[in-house]
């Protein structure tokens, strides 16, 4: 696993719920069918109203019209990211779209557990309100060991809370892979 994550930012507001991340009407697609699986990436964040939470990014589409991979690898959110239902599909939709990390002020507990349990992406917590500091399209770099996010577009660097044991689970490929590696589950 790499020590840094670099990519474009997609900035979103507070209280982004799982139905905004992947609306229920798109849950009809099979995650086990390779072509239908791509639709989860295509429709990721399609439930977010324009100018979510008053942010200036307006109607910036997360994924291009004819693709399921987003040009944004790092999602920057506000408070209570992933609230709402316990929809596991939300975390997986972000991974399918190409998201490597979410940086939020705080997470809904169930979303945080889902993203870690499946090792879908890295859930960093910011120590500042980054949704007012970072703009959609800014080039970012997360230094995982140092626990920092650098906005390469503005030159500013911000502290992130340590991932702690979560990093080991994600590195292992999810909670079950981690448990097997740790000898907690028989193979």
Q: What would the two tokens of residue 16 be? A: 């982004």
- Return the higher-pLDDT residue of 54 and 142: 142
Task: Round the average pLDDT of the chain to a whole number and report it.
Answer: 92
- CB-side exposure of 111: number of CA atoms within 13 Å? 28
Residues in Cβ contact with 122 at an 8 Å cutoff, skipping those fewer than 6 apart: 5, 100, 101, 102, 142, 144, 163, 167, 170
Domains of the chain: 4-181 (3.20.19.10)
Instruction: Give the Cα-Cα-Cα angle 73, 74, 78 (nearest 5 degrees).
Output: 150
The yes-or-no verdict on residue 54 having pLDDT over 50 is no
pTM (two decimals): 0.93
Stretch 18-32: mean pLDDT: 92
Place of tokens 């992933």: 82
The per-residue pLDDT for 182 is: 87
pLDDT in tens, 104-158: 999 999 999 999 999 999 999 999 999 999 999 999 999 999 999 999 999 999 9
- Mapped onto helix, strand or coil, the DSSP state of residue 118 is coil
């Amino acid at each position: 696993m790499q020590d840094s994550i670099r990519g474009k930012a997609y900035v979103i507001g507070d209280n982004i719920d799982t139905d905004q991340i992947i609306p229920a009407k798109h849950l009809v697609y099979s995650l086990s069918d390779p072509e239908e699986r791509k639709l989860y990436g295509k429709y990721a964040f399609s439930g977010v109203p324009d100018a979510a939470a008053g942010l200036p990014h307006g109607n910036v589409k997360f994924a291009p019209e004819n693709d399921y991979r987003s040009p944004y690898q790092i999602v920057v959110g506000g408070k209570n990211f992933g609230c709402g239902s316990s929809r596991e599909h939300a975390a997986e939709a972000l991974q399918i779209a190409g998201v490597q990390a979410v940086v939020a002020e705080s997470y809904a507990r169930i979303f945080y557990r889902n993203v870690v349990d499946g090792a879908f992406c890295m859930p960093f917590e910011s120590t500042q309100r980054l949704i007012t500091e970072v703009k959609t399209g800014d080039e970012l770099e997360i230094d995982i060991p140092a626990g920092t996010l650098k906005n390469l577009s503005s030159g500013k660097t911000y502290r992130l809370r340590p991932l702690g044991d979560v990093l080991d689970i994600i590195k292992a490929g999810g909670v079950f892979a981690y448990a097997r590696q740790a000898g907690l589950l028989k193979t």
